[in-house]
Chain A
Amino acid sequence: QVLLVQSGAEVKKPGSSVKVSCKASGGTFSSYGLNWVRQAPGQGLEWMGVVIPMFGSANYAQKFQGRVTITADESTSTAYMELRSLRSDDTAVFYCARGGGYNSSDPFDLWGQGTMVTVSS
């Protein structure tokens, strides 16, 4: 059974960066897309970007372009999402989710447990 396990909660100062990890266990990692989704308190789901570990390149939502970097380490089956220049409105739960890989678009059938990031001075 494949699981996505994310790193723990973080508290950050405005202007700093956060790097959240998502480790896949129990199944294939490289050929799927690992997506990151943000959910602010009481708000909806917002797609941030995706990386396909096999290829390494990532695609980002324009809203986050230049401020986010999504990477993957095939050797450890771990994906990472780094968000820079944090603001108070970045306070949210960040989820990783498995989706389609190269040349395929698929729904997000597997989700991590979520990582709460709090940005506060």
Chain B
Amino acid sequence: DIVMTQSPDSLAVSLGERATINCKSSLSVLYSSNNKNYLAWYQQKPGQPPKLVIYWASTRESGVPDRFSGSGSGTDFTLTISSLQAEDVAVYYCQQYNSIPYTFGQGTKLEIK
């Protein structure tokens, strides 16, 4: 199984500041035949299901503000929120969907400082 490890486990950032969450996979999730990274980021607010934010490591889902961006390739990935807003407080999960079993990181709790 591909193990996904996020860092940090929790993060407190001031409003308007940058938030950065890292995700590392135990095996590459880059599929060489199409040069795509099978890596997604989800946002989950209390009492709600997860919401897809970023897929293919760097493609924003429709409707997601452009302050959210994803980067990385192979085994190392980053989710960046360029200017934190109050509504961004949530737990963020990375996920590999390259191979079954699809696996999630343990989550990073993002709070306001």
Residues of A participating in the B interface, judged by any CB pair closer than 8 Å = 35, 44-47, 50, 59, 61-62, 95, 97, 99-100, 105-109, 111-114
Contacts and interface: CB of A to CB of B under 8 A. Distances in A.
B101 A47 contact: yes
SS class, residues of chain A in contact with chain B: loop
B51 A44 contact: no
Contact of B51 (A45, A59, A111, A113): A111
Contacts, number: 57
A106 B97 contact: yes
A100 B97 contact: yes
B52 A47 contact: no
B55 interface: yes
Nearest to B55: A107
SS class, residues of chain B in contact with chain A: loop
A109 B49 CA distance: 11
A35 B50 CA distance: 13
Given A99-B97, A105-B98, A112-B49, 8 more contacts: A45-B44, A45-B93, A47-B103, A59-B100, A105-B97, A108-B50, A108-B52, A111-B49
B106 interface: yes
Q: How many residues of B sit at the interface, in one of the four size bands?
A: 20 to 34
A61 B93 CA distance: 19
Contacts of A44: 93, 104-107
Contacts of A46: 104
A112 to B, nearest CB: 7
A45 B92 CA distance: 11
20 contacts: A44-B93, A44-B107, A45-B42, A45-B44, A45-B50, A46-B104, A50-B102, A59-B100, A62-B101, A95-B50, A97-B50, A105-B38, A105-B98, A107-B40, A107-B97, A108-B42, A108-B50, A109-B55, A109-B61, A111-B50
